Structure 1
Amino acid sequence: MIGANKIIEKKREYLFPSSWGNHFYKNPPQIVKGDMQYLYDSDGKEYVDFFAGVSVMNCGHCNKEILDVTIKQMQTLQHTTIIYLTEQMVNLAERMSKILPGDLKRVFFCCTGSEANEGAMLLARLYTGKNEFIALNNGLHGRTYLTMSATGIPMWRADPDLSQAIHFAKNTWDCNGDIETAARESLKDIEKIINDRGANNIAALIAEPIQGNGGIITPPLWYFKELKNLLEKNEILLIIDEVQTGFARTGKMFAIENYDIVPDIMTVAKALGNGMPISAFCTNDKISEKFTKPSASTLGGNPVSSATAMAVLDYIEKYNLCENSKKLGDILKSELEKLKSKYPLIKDVRGIGLMLGAELVKENGQQASEETDIILEKMKDKGFIIGKNGIGRNVLAFQPPLVINEQNIKDMIKVLDEVLSELK
């Protein structure tokens, strides 16, 4: 093992500058092993993972039940492209049709969340014959041209000449914590864009049910119903991006199910492969009929990723990870709320299930970005990996593998309490 410092040297020597500093820590460890909810560094130190590779490892690191299926498939058939007939992809598609919300049934497999969202936006254009989109402030949808254009977080908009076909509306976050008012303002803003641009020009609105990188922004439960009604009235499609929120993370298989609506198009990725690259955009029979020209993702739906994804779905069902996420998420949220009442630095605790965020704000109202970094560093030193997000990078992100247990939560909260008291 070459060690953390040598890895940083090689990053600077061989990778793009955009990749140099993406490790959160002043003293980052070299992670060499994973085992369910635990990670281990090159010195053998154990960490409880409360970030899951940004909502990827929902079923845990190096999950043996899933890996056994992956390895068996790798030893049998890895890749042919969809030109040739293999059964793993169609079996997964059939399985997906049984768990997708409402009338969503058709799937197009690809490799990344960006690719899935790009495909979803293309599909919306093909179906509606319209060209423009609405996206929400603070949203993150990918790093392809169109998905980067639909991303509302400045740090992830690297291209200086992005598409003008995307129009941004207010999201449901309010600096004073009044999400009800913020949600109303968001709907008003969306309606204004529709009126200004003309409904005959707008193909779809794309949104995350909970904005992950935006700061775990969680709309009130009525929001998406009213949004869907507004869009349907104007013959505009709703694309829901479940790349971070999908596959049991919020106590439901998909986060949008908490809001009791069915989107027109939905994208999935990350946790579907539990570390293997796979994604998909999904829709109903009617919308899918407009995508007729030949199209394929070279590695999308390959036998290994598809077999792995089937094992992931089996594992989620076998071990009741939806129920586990809800139960443990309620416990974690309650404990974070207790810390909020104890430490004024925590302004807000939000999220659903095991997708929670604690927003940190100083007494003067400024975003506590520096304090967030200090907390992450100290928590890492004490054996806990947590994330950060938000426009000001001042939101502690708790998105652990869904296989954590109550004792993991108690241990993490105890240490977080100690770290916050040191800051105080």
Structure 2
Amino acid sequence: MAVVGPLSRIARLGRNICQNHRLIFNKISQRRGIASCIDPSHGLSDEQKEFQKVAFDFAANEMSPHMAEWDQKEVFPVETMRKAAQLGFGGIYVQPDVGGSGLSRLDTSIIFEALSTGCASTTAYISIHNMCAWMIDTFGNVDQREKFCPDLCSMEKFASYCLTEPGSGSDAASLLTSAQKKGDHYILNGSKAFISGGGDTDVYVVMCRTGGKGPKGISCLVVEKGTPGLSFGKKEKKVGWNSQPTRAVIFEDCAVPVANRLGEEGQGFSIAMKGLNGGRINIASCSLGAAHACVLLARDHLLVRKQFGETLANSQFLQFKLAEMATKLVTSRLLVRDAATALQQNRSDAVTLCSMAKLFATDECFNICNQALQMHGGYGYLKDYAVQQFVRDIRVHQILEGTNEVMRMIISRNLLTES
């Protein structure tokens, strides 16, 4: 039945607004700074600006046009990620001799921030994959590095990080998944929860208990898909992060070669935590990209949307809100980049700064995206508008890679124990 009269005009107006929004978002995805005060290229070297541009262009051309579809259809965009790997984004801070790009933590943060303007969910998975590849590169022996890293860096194979269990989230050192050594294999039993990529990925970096209670009884095994005894739970239905599957990973008398152990027995928890220090920078960087996109979306919406006879940009209240959003974005970016530099330099304050960066950036960037949605009014709640997806996708960043409550514990413990 055709819509007629005033309703048809309203329907056309709605379609035009949605179409204009898509055009605005595509333009935003193709531009790095627009307003110089929030330009993410400030302070970067010429080389960093070049690969930042490559990442922004990839986000605009290969990710943002498909972001909504990946979310709604829950597509794991394997081929797109392999295209990203061709640009060096599959093993950004893995050493070049096994196929990595050999870049710094700061370089990595810059890249993930740029990619997230195109799709925060997909970029977040790429960041987890990079963390796993780095762990194998850093703590694996020559054979392990040569076996796993090249395929991970090319994203011919994908990796998942397996630490969290149904009964041990923030208290990761209490994990129960066991690995009993029998001859030249470990017999693995237990399960992991909320595993990004679970079931669709090829390599699982698993923390398991080979010794007594506590962190010193934990070891790290690399489990390959297809190993007998490895299975997966149902695909979880999530609020966001829908371009990456999430499942439980289950081990039932799963025989894993001793040759697949990273480091020595008892070093697993230390390996896991060192991986997470970088992971916290990575996920904070993904939040930066989403917030950057949302500031620009909100800015452009205020310039074109009219209420009470004038554009929303003329409202001093909204001007002040936009100013606060921009200030929090730049503040978050500076903190994340400082923490990335500290981690690269192996400074004594690196762990605390990584926790500060993750806490502050993921909280404030979520608030920025949420405020951008509010500025869009009812339109912001429609799935035709990218702003709602950024809100849904980065909400979980305040939970994973160590909850923000745990980040507060790490920071306060550092303050209270230093003399």
TM-score (norm 1): 0.25
- Bigger relative contact order (CA 8 A; separation at least 6): 1
TM normalised by structure 2 equals: 0.25
Structure whose alpha-carbon radius of gyration is higher: 2
